[in-house]
Chain A
């Protein structure tokens, strides 16, 4: 019986050999600009993490008192806006490709979960701003959170808790899901085009 280490290595090599993990060629049908939006989403996440790391290194109050801090806060804000913009276009593109075909349902599902986890990640960021916007969002958001009982353990009015969620717990979740999503994409490859024969004739069978 082989060791756990060997099993994990063999599992990885079997499912994701290096040439598939980091391919130097792609199917010839990958020509549309829509394919860029997945990479742009990841790139925006890189900029978010980079600017957020600088903000975290200096502490949550820094950007209110230092112009360079405000600069990095602005980079952080706009990269978040770009992240969601690119991700939504990416998701719409994959929807119209029916990109879940050919055993790729998990690829779609991890992408959808990534969007849904990114929403509270951004929400806790808004709560961590320490300005009027944070006060308003916290006092209004708490009613929805409380209405389903979640307020018992997720208190939007507790800055310390929201800050922890924003800079550690939820980013870890987003990055983990994005990593899983990318590995699944590399494992299954990008979805081939819908055959043109499908566009003619009788209604599609369910």
Chain B
């Protein structure tokens, strides 16, 4: 004879009470022993593997090892074509990296909270702070006072010349002669400032003595290739499941595997969508809410009943109660809604 399956309400009620036997248990001892075991495992892992610590990239090291890339990036900041210059909120009012979900444009609605003017903050202001160089200050003034069309012509010419530039590490970038206006001396001076280490300090957001906000230097670094090249080598790019990877061969944030997974999905153009970050976050928010609310989700909450892993977990208990049932006389059937927890 087959027993009828319990309804969810009956299953729920059956779990409210337990009238069966108990066994001795020392909760404090368990936690103390477990803490000792975990500390020991962490100690062994530390002795065997230590932890990664790749030195950070600085603007100084970037400009010394990749001077052409540095100047190319600085030029894109000056002419307003870099990622930061075109980003949008929360840095400026452009739209290059602004994402939205349907009509929900939270990024734009919450406005510019960390204002960044790429041309002024990354190029013009640092050059203005260089003392005792009147020819440089004249060049900066000439650039600022020139019409936009002229500025673009100088920048375009210099950008094209950078493709033919010759350079060596720690040295200046030499470009063929051309009509670059004040852009050439500005870029040369900025490169020299960066290679000396001065630009790292100049880009810190706060003008106070103590500094903790690295928004501007990090944005400038990100616009170049120095971080990206290192990340590719370390398998940290988004297309390399990099969000859950760590530098070297260490386990990273592996708990982000599902979050990272969505960036690999090409179906429907998700991974290449201009709104991919907003879409993936929205998906994860919905899944996170579902995760919290599993006890109330029909179907999902019944999966443990359809795939009875619980029989493995409680196999000893089921075996002992079955043996007891085989030797004891049958118990009276409990009233509805007050079923005992034991089978």
Contacts and interface: CB of A to CB of B under 8 A. Distances in A.
A155 B89 CA distance: 12
Interface residues of A, number: 101
Interface string A109-128: 10011011001001100100
Given A24-B26, A73-B51, A148-B278, A138 B107 contact: no
Contacts of A202: 4-5
Interface string A31-73: 1101010011011101100010000000000011000001101
The binding surface of chain A is classed by DSSP as: helix
B292 A102 contact: no
A194 B25 CA distance: 22
B38 A135 contact: no
Contact of B218 (A70, A86, A138): A138
B225 interface: no
Interface residues of B, number: 115
A196 B230 contact: no
Given A25-B22, A84-B254, A100 B341 contact: no
Interface stretch (A3-11, A157-165, A166-174): A157-165
Nearest to A186: B27
Contact of B215 (A74, A95, A97, A155): A155
B131 interface: no
B51 A103 contact: no
B306 A96 contact: no
Interface string B240-259: 00110011001101111000
A47 B38 contact: yes
Nearest to A37: B34
Nearest to B279: A147
B27 A22 contact: yes
Contact of B38 (A82, A195, A200): A82
A18 interface: no
A139 B211 CA distance: 18
Given A43-B31, A139-B221, A195-B339, A149 B107 contact: yes
B197 interface: no
Nearest to A143: B277
Nearest to B299: A206
Interface in B1-23: 2-8, 11-18, 20-23
Interface in B66-117: 89-90, 97, 99, 106-107, 109-111, 113-114
Contact of B227 (A109, A135, A200): A135
Contacts of A26: 22-23, 25
A4 B227 CA distance: 58
A140 B162 CA distance: 27
Contact of A201 (B5, B246, B309): B5
A133 B314 contact: no
Contacts of B20: 27-29
- Closest A-B pairs by Cβ, 3 of them: A160-B212, A102-B15, A192-B341
Interface of B: 2-8, 11-18, 20-28, 30-31, 34-35, 37-39, 41-43, 45-46, 49-57, 89-90, 97, 99, 106-107, 109-111, 113-114, 212-215, 218-219, 221-222, 227, 230-231, 236, 238, 242-243, 246-247, 250-251, 253-256, 275, 277-278, 280-282, 288, 291-296, 298-299, 301-311, 313-314, 316-318, 320, 339, 341-343
Interface of A: 22-32, 34, 36, 39-40, 42-44, 46-47, 51, 63-64, 70-71, 73-75, 77-79, 81-82, 84, 86, 88, 93, 95-98, 100-105, 108-109, 112-113, 115-116, 119, 122-123, 126, 129-136, 138-140, 143-144, 146-149, 151-153, 155, 157-161, 163, 189, 191-206
6 contacts: A42-B34, A113-B292, A129-B53, A136-B231, A157-B214, A194-B304
Given A25-B25, A206-B8, 5 more contacts: A43-B34, A43-B39, A81-B45, A101-B11, A199-B305
